[in-house]
């Protein structure tokens, strides 16, 4: 069932509370990093080897960008990141990076019946909720009233949260102009997502492979503390492990606050 939508259920209160808690956590972590940097009188560390940071990503939607077909997914994550210097020259710096996202929230569309309006009142035919690949905004059929008038029938749609965890143990970052406080970068991360139930729909898989890549800018607010903003292409799919494998493509904004030493 990949069809018409109308209306949708409100967002999960639990999800909203988690997002608020995450914002507090991020700013608390940033404040801690900044305080540490104020007490440190070290010069700008061009030879820093390690980096540790707090990271969050958000995408309000999904669509077919390259290989994924599941649409209308909203995904938000919170985690930590570690990087290690591999090589540094005058113009470029190469780092290994890995990340753990213990909170990976995916919001999927579902259909729970059909509805139409008869004599000004809604008529609903309910069914068990079923997550779908996408929900289109057009009628799925018509109903012929006793007076001979046809009225459109719509799917009754809503949204449902699934909580998971993601790991990206394999990653690399290339940064340009490593001697400057504003550094363009390009990253590639490979990993997987595990959840208590199939994602993004039933009969897919609880285990999905994950990869992302894209550009960003890293701003050093002090010699060892930085804020990085990136826009990534991210894809998750089960590579045929499940009976269905629609895959999820997204454009993702990632924000990382880190300290290196």
Which 3-state string (H, E, C) describes 182-214? Answer: EEEEEEEEEEEEEEEEEECCCCCEEEEEEEEEE
Cα 89–94–100 angle (5° rounding)? 155
Q: What are the tens digits of pLDDT across the range 24-34?
A: 555 555 455 44
Quote the pLDDT of residue 14. Answer: 53
Neighbouring residues of 3: CB distance < 8 A, sequence distance ≥ 6: 111, 132, 135, 136, 138, 140, 155
Calpha distance 92→98 (Å, rounded):
19
- Give the whole-angstrom CA distance, residue 29 versus residue 256: 11
The whole-number pLDDT of residue 22 equals 52
Question: How confident is the model over 163-202, as pLDDT tens digits?
Answer: 999 999 999 999 999 988 999 999 999 999 999 999 999 9
| CATH top-level class of 13-109+163-260 | mainly beta
Mean of the per-residue pLDDT values of the chain: 86
For residue 44, pLDDT over 60 is answered with: no
Q: What are the sequence ranges of the domains in the chain?
A: 13-109+163-260, 111-156
Residue partners of 223: CB distance under 8 A and separation at least 6: 37, 40, 42, 43, 44, 45
pTM for the whole thing?
0.79
Which pLDDT value is given to residue 202?
Answer: 95
């Amino acid at each position: 069932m990949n069809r018409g939508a109308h209306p949708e259920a409100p967002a999960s209160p639990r999800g909203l509370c988690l997002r608020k808690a995450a914002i507090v956590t991020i700013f608390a972590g940033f404040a801690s990093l900044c305080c540490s940097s104020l007490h440190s009188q070290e010069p700008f560390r061009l030879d820093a080897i390690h980096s540790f940071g707090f990271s969050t990503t958000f995408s309000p939607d999904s669509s077919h960008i390259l290989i994924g077909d599941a649409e209308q997914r909203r995904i938000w994550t919170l985690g930590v990141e570690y990087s290690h210097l591999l090589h540094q020259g005058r113009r470029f710096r190469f780092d290994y990076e890995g990340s753990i996202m213990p909170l990976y929230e995916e919001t999927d569309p579902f259909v729970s019946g059909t509805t139409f309006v008869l004599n000004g009142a809604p008529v609903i035919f309910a069914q068990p909720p079923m997550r779908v690949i996408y929900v289109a905004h057009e009628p799925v059929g018509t109903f012929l009233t006793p007076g001979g008038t046809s009225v459109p029938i719509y799917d009754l749609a809503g949204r449902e949260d699934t909580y998971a965890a993601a790991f990206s143990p394999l990653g690399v970052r290339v940064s340009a102009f490593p001697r400057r406080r504003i550094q363009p970068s390009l990253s590639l991360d490979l990993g997987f997502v595990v959840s208590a139930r199939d994602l993004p729909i039933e009969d897919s898989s609880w285990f999905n492979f994950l990869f992302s890549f894209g550009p960003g800018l890293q701003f050093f607010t002090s010699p060892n503390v930085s804020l990085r903003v990136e826009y990534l292409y991210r894809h998750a799919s089960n590579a045929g492990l499940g009976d269905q494998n629609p895959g999820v493509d997204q454009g993702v904004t990632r924000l990382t606050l880190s300290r290196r030493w």
